[in-house]
């Protein structure tokens, strides 16, 4: 069950391009954690996705440990999840931020600093979005192994709007130091 701030999900709108069968839009979310039992934090987030209105977890990649970006801090554990959602992009973002908040995320802390949970809306269908508070595809998706490798695990033939096939982006991260940590 998600414990969210009262305004986080208020006024949720159905996405304009939701499928007629009610399945909605396929969205991909990047997950990362390096505080307070990161593997457990990621697994708890997968469960929390099931509580987001009009949203269903379709699948998720394995968990990968990788060195952090930014200041000295513990290694991160990362994954990617595929969601089908009837929420509009900003409403899905609010729901994801509510999940972060419920798991102890503190916003406004050090940029690229340690965190209990970081959820990034990587892709929202085939849409491109460029707003002050939301950019989709995620601005650095195409250069981050800890996103591309797990995304490839669950959606190997996906096209990244503005960048092309995911398969073509993998060469740029071939030397990445990711370690699978969940078997």
Q: What digits encode the pLDDT tens for the residues 131-145?
A: 999 999 999 999 999
Considering the candidates 75, 115, 180, 182, report the single residue annotated as catalytic.
115
Of 97, 100, 178, the C-alpha closest to 144 is: 178
Split into its structural domains, the chain has a count of 1
Number of Cβ within 10 Å of residue 133's Cβ equals: 9
Q: Which of 118, 127, 133, 180 is catalytic?
A: 118
pLDDT of amino acid 11: 38
What is the per-residue pLDDT for 70?
77
The CA dihedral of 78, 79, 84, 86, to the nearest 10 degrees, is 0
Quick one: pLDDT at residue 111?
67
Decide if 21 is catalytic: no
DSSP character for 136?
E
Q: Is residue 143 part of a domain?
A: yes
Interatomic CA distance for residues 176 and 183, integer angstroms: 19
- Cα separation, 80 vs 27, whole angstroms: 10
pLDDT at 41: 96
State which residues of the chain have pLDDT below 50: 1-21
Domain assignment of residue 14, yes or no: no
Q: CB neighbours of 130 closer than 8 A, spacing ≥ 6?
A: none
Flag whether 4 is in a domain. Answer: no
Structural domain for 40, as ranges: 25-180
**Res 108: pLDDT:** 67
Active-site option among 120, 127, 130, 144:
120
Q: What is the CATH number of the domain that holds 123?
A: 3.30.70.560
Could you say which of 43, 65, 105, 144 is catalytic?
105
120 assigned to active site: yes
Residue 71, pLDDT score: 80
What is the reported pTM? 0.86
* 56 within a domain of the structure (yes/no): yes
Considering only CA atoms, which of 138, 3, 135, 23 is closest in space to residue 87?
Answer: 23
- Among 104, 136, 109, smallest CA distance to 120 is for 136
Residue 122 lies in a domain: yes
Q: Is residue 147 part of a domain?
A: yes
Would you call 36 a catalytic residue per the annotation? no
pLDDT of residue 112: 67
Q: Is residue 93 part of a domain?
A: yes
Q: Is 115 a catalytic residue?
A: yes
Taken in order 91, 96, 97, 101, the sign of the CA dihedral is positive
Q: Is residue 3 included in any domain, yes or no?
A: no
């Amino acid at each position: 069950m998600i414990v969210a701030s009262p305004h986080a999900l208020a006024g949720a709108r159905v996405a304009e391009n939701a499928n007629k069968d009610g399945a909605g839009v396929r969205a991909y979310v990047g997950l990362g954690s390096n505080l307070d039992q990161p593997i457990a934090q990621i697994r708890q987030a997968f469960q929390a996705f099931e509580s987001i209105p009009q949203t269903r977890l379709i699948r998720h990649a394995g968990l990968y440990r990788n060195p952090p970006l930014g200041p000295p801090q513990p290694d991160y554990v990362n994954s990617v999840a595929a969601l089908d959602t009837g929420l509009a992009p900003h409403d899905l973002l609010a729901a994801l931020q509510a999940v972060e908040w419920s798991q102890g995320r503190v916003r406004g802390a050090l940029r690229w600093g340690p965190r209990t949970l970081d959820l990034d809306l990587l892709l929202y269908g085939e849409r491109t979005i460029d707003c002050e508070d939301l950019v989709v595809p995620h601005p650095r998706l195409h250069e981050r192994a800890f996103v591309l490798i797990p995304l490839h695990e669950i959606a190997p033939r996906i096209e990244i709007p503005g960048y092309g096939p995911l398969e073509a982006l993998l060469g740029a991260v071939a030397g990445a130091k990711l370690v699978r940590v969940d078997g």
